[in-house]
Structure 1
Amino acid sequence: MTEKANILDEQAISRAVTRIAHEIIEKNKGIDECILVGIKTRGAVLAERLAEKIEQIEGKPIRTGELDITLYRDDLRLKHDDQEPLVHQVDIQHDVTEMKVILVDDVLYTGRTVRAAMDAVIDLGRPAAIQLAVLVDRGHRELPIRPDFVGKNIPTSSEERVVVNVIEEDGTDSVAIHTK
């Protein structure tokens, strides 16, 4: 894979996180009934950043949690339509019943990871709502899933790959499109 275009740098990612934090607060009329749930690995990092930003704005912390989902089709770089994402670990220490759960992920592509995350949340209780915040929406949905909060829409071809790097995991903040 070679880098085709660098889409977001550190400042652009920071601005996107700030904007999404404000949008979450506005849409939910505060954070009292909200839980941010990050999808590992980079979604969890972004959820923590959102939580810090929301606490700065609101003056109080927002509840958080994490889901670890393995998506075999991405892990193996093969396309097997019968393989689905598997939830490996759920770390949500709060009751989700009647709460607004905001799933956070780095890239929204087919929607299968989000569907698996929604199933995991619903297994814990009946939330009042499940919302979705993503840093990048690249299109190509296979399921009827759309984000409520988007950092950047990046139209891509199915042959391209969106690569998100975060300082906490990769030593740098960036979003780039890579091609084969």
Structure 2
Amino acid sequence: MIKLLAGILAALKTIAVGERHYGQHKGAVLFAQGMEYHYQNYLLNYQGRGYEWQHEVVAYLNRAGQMYYYLISAHVGAKTKDIPSLLGASRFRMKHTAHRQIDAPRAGDYLADFSAPGITTIMPIRRFQAFEHRGRENYFPGLTIPFGSDSAEGAGDTRSFFLHHEHAFIMADVLRVLSLVATKHSQK
């Protein structure tokens, strides 16, 4: 993952050369570094007995949301189809870390506190492993929340966010977009 971060930082450095107002592109360095920082801390903490890993996931999602809005801004101009992994993380962020569904419900939100620490899902490290033989060291915890309607017509979709799985895809999306922008800037 460090190689992806290095590529992102190099692209941002190229893009920032023509920057007129500080912060358009240089500020995105903090977003990228923060995403990598929280990912690395997640890896150090996910096997712990507490919920330190969850704090890292929440912080990661918030930095990912900042990166998302930077990339779709007029300064960069990415389309959401160019950053599908980051779009998915941003949608999750809106339902879990930017606001809790119970505090600021939107149309169709479930009215329950899904940010509670017990609302987690596990993803086996080895998929063939039998569930009863899995110890805490054999899975990655993730966050799961429902998306969609809470109406009598039926339950909505549930989605999970597993940072260990999503990080490489998200960083690759960011790198791909920033590399294209850096190439355009260097040709000017």
Question: TM (normalized to structure 2)?
Answer: 0.23
Decide which structure has the larger Cα Rg and report it: 2
Greater percentage in helix: 2
Identify the structure with the greater strand proportion. 1
Instruction: Output the TM-score relative to the length of structure 1.
Output: 0.24
